[in-house]
A and B are shown apart, each in its own frame.
Chain A
Amino acid sequence: MKVVTGQRPRMHRVLFDLPATMIIGGIILFASFVLAFFPSLFAPYDPNAFDYGALLHAPTLAHPFGTDNYGRDMLSRVIHAYTIDMQIAVFATIVPVIVGTLIGAVVGYAGGLTEAFFGRVVDAIITFPFLVLVIAIVSVLGPGLINMYIAVGIIDWVFYGRLTAAEIKVQKRLDYADAGRVMGYRPSRVVFRHLLPNAMTPALVYWMTDMALAILLGSSLGYLGLGAQPPAAEWGVLIADGKNFMTTAWWISIFPGLAIVITGLGFSLFGDGLAEFLRTRR
């Protein structure tokens, strides 16, 4: 509450106030998205070019991450994989975020039978382990990224729905909700215009974690051969490629694994900082 002058808080003040975790996470995510959008600018080689003169080379200056059994430069493959894996993070979660949040808002506001019904749907879906359910759906639809998005979309929205419904239930009992009602606004206006912006925080924070989970899921399915298909460079696929050489050429699997860890860490740190930031702003 330090601003009383009537001016909007200045940009550098806002940046200065951000939690450190959010800044570190933000830098990692920014770098990841830059790599994802412009992989060719950073990759020293063509990720799919074979070099039979340099098979299974350990990391050197020429190939900092080494080469695989076809002589492909691992650094270039890891960088090009950013394109697919960041796409997985966003595409797999964006529909569940929007659909789940909207459904959650309506359910939380309506309460009663609607909510009871929604609760049973949620129960039915989360009874199954997430990964098992996704694998089951992908096996039916067939392997590939699009089918993975569909499978995640069918399941993932319930988590956002549940979070938002719970928060809406809190918000709808507050005075400003009654004030909106007593002002004669339609229920839809009260829910979407007044309550939802105040109730989105948990879903927003969870979204960050969920994108990290989506990358893990994409990699897991890629590893199992149900997600991105070789020769596409995708971290899970790369790790799977390296599994036969684990004892002799560890770098093939390790570096994609590190990329997963760092990107996941970026999302988690950013989400953590975002939660803190939104909490202190209240």
Chain B
Amino acid sequence: MSAKTDGLHVRGLCATFETPRGPARAVDGVDLDIAPGEVFGLVGESGSGKSVTLRALMRLVHPPGRVEGNVAWQGRDLMAMKPEELRRMRGGEIAMIFQEPMTALNPVLPVRVQIEENLRAHTDMNRRERRARALELLDIVGIPAAARRLDEYPHQFSGGMRQRVMIAIALASSPKLLLADEPTTALDVTIQDQILKLLLDLRDEFSMSVVFVTHDLGVVASLCDRMAVMYAGRIVETGTVSEVFATPHHPYTRGLLGSVPHGGAERTMLASIEGTPPGLASLPAGCAFHPRCEFATDECRRERPALEPFAPGRSVACFHHERVARAEELA
């Protein structure tokens, strides 16, 4: 890790929660490398640990949840930071957008106050500059009549507008890394599209890295450079978006991609992955995916495959990834 001082580097991130049925590993040994200016997609179904991964990165997991592992940002260890240092980092260099625009804004403060608050905490701007910057930010995220809307309260905004306000707050201090937790899930598709374009524009403008958590593969395809697929708290496959979409090497990825409807194609039954994700407190032995996997063998039931590179920039955690890839090519 010594040479890598740029971007975000995560090694062996674990988040554990105690439950009556034993400890549940919501995140289990996640490794991530995100370069400056890169948009990284983290994909998986509900409960696969995507959101907890982001929260763990930001040290937002509340006790009694426990987080272990290494998180290095620009060469500095986020996990070992003192509160004072962490405060400067959070909201300053690293910003986070929450999933729920309905609850992530403070209902009793006008949005102007909430935007200017971030500027006050992380910049040297004076009062006048902060006002100007707040107005500019609302303009950037595409809120019409920004000057008038600054003094309104969150309940006066629609869901899509609130999401934009949240993005404006997150971007206030020009972060170098944006952690976006399903920022478009609560929105309808037209607004979603606008927000995604906006994020890409902002990436170019501020040259920031983005970690984008979603379960929407269409969003990943249109937005991200690289992606990782999570299942039961582990990363099962990573690679560039185009490669993963072209030849998925993990049966779970293959299943995910197969369950996306294709426009213009012949009408057929939509494929789905049989079964449900396992409970985290009672993961099956061996590969966590084997009960739902059509490629599973005795080896999969006995041993857990490690995430291993098989080509430049690509890794997969499956004993039979070559068979999976061939099946994809035949199909």
Contact = CB atoms under 8 A, between A and B. Distances in A.
Contacts of A124: none
A4 interface: yes
Interface in B92-113: 92, 95-96, 98-100, 103-109
B106 A4 contact: no
B58 interface: yes
B170 to A, nearest CB: 8
B89 interface: yes
A168 B139 CA distance: 34
A179 B96 contact: yes
B117 to A, nearest CB: 7
Contact of B89 (A4, A178, A184, A185): A184
A65 B240 CA distance: 90
Nearest to B113: A193
A184 B108 contact: no
Interface in A258-282: 282
Interface in A193-233: 193-194, 197-198
Interface string A146-175: 000000000000000000000000000111
B156 A3 contact: yes
B108 A197 contact: yes
Contact of B121 (A1, A173, A184, A282): A184
Q: By CB atoms of chain B within 10 A, which of A1, A4, A183 has the most?
A: A183
Nearest to A200: B108
A176 interface: yes
A184 B87 contact: yes
Interface stretch (B10-18, B145-153, B204-212, B298-306): B145-153
B309 to A, nearest CB: 32
Given A6-B156, A175-B98, A175-B100, A182 B108 contact: no
Nearest to A176: B106
A180 interface: yes
Which bracket fits the contact residues of A? 20 to 34
Contacts of B91: 182-185
A186 interface: yes
Given A179-B105, A181-B90, A6 B152 contact: yes
A179 B155 contact: no
B285 to A, nearest CB: 34
Contacts of A186: 87
Contacts of A194: 106, 109
A185 B106 CA distance: 14
B87 A185 contact: yes
Contact of B103 (A4, A175, A181, A184): A175
B138 interface: no
Contacts of B55: 178
28 contacts: A1-B155, A6-B145, A175-B103, A176-B104, A176-B106, A176-B107, A178-B98, A178-B104, A179-B105, A179-B106, A179-B166, A181-B90, A182-B90, A182-B95, A182-B96, A183-B90, A183-B117, A184-B87, A184-B90, A184-B122, A185-B121, A193-B117, A194-B106, A197-B108, A197-B109, A198-B107, A198-B108, A282-B107
Interface of B: 55, 58, 60, 62, 86-92, 95-96, 98-100, 103-109, 117-118, 121-122, 145, 148-149, 152, 155-156, 166, 169
Nearest 4 interchain pairs by C-beta: A184-B91, A183-B91, A175-B104, A184-B90
